[in-house]
């Protein structure tokens, strides 16, 4: 009988091993999200819609990390599944969601810098927040929680 071959950890798994040293992984995420949405002092004050989006994105990040560790759940969003896989790893999820926040913040900065009318900025923030909040609510309705145990009975999974 041949010994089992051990594969080296993937990049996302290396990040996860590093971050698993911290009990408060969500604190690291929160600091990253706050940093991305802090803006420059020369920019106009942050809009409520911008903060709302980043808060919803943080909750979605925590839900995605939590469901990635749960065999009862697979990623159902086709785009996210193509990038992160059906069982997303924490490190990959953090990198992806920080990228989403960075892109959102960049677009907001550009709109502020170019004096785009406020109604356009509010519409952008409203649409992006509503879309992200709908994902969070759908995840919750499917039993996915930001931390702790998920409710697998919502998707027919019995432990």
CA distance 119 to 142: 34
Map out the domains of the chain as residue ranges.
Answer: 46-151
CB contact set of 75 (below 8 Å; sequence gap of 6+): 64, 67, 68, 81, 84, 85, 86, 87, 88
Under a CB-based contact definition with an 8 Å cutoff, are residues 29 and 58 in contact?
yes
For residue 78, what pLDDT band results from cuts at 50, 70 and 90? confident
Under a CB-based contact definition with an 8 Å cutoff, are residues 67 and 144 in contact?
yes
For residue 72, what pLDDT band results from cuts at 50, 70 and 90? confident
* Percentage with pLDDT > 70 across the chain: 69
Query: pLDDT by residue (tens digit) across 129-144?
Result: 999 999 999 988 888 8
């Amino acid at each position: 009988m041949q010994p089992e071959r051990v594969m080296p950890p993937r990049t996302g798994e290396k990040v996860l091993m590093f971050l698993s040293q911290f009990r408060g992984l969500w604190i690291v995420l929160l600091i990253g999200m706050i940093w991305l949405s802090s803006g420059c002092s020369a920019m106009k004050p942050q809009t409520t819609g911008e903060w709302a989006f980043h808060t919803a994105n943080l909750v979605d990040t925590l839900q995605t990390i939590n469901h990635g560790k749960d065999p009862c759940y697979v990623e159902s969003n086709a785009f996210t599944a193509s990038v992160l896989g059906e069982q997303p790893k924490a490190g990959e999820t953090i990198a992806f969601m920080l990228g989403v926040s960075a892109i959102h913040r960049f677009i907001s900065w550009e709109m502020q810098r170019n004096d785009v009318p406020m109604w356009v900025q509010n519409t952008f923030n409203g649409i992006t927040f509503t879309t992200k909040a709908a994902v969070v609510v759908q995840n919750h309705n499917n039993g996915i929680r930001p931390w702790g145990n998920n409710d697998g009975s919502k998707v027919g999974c019995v432990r």
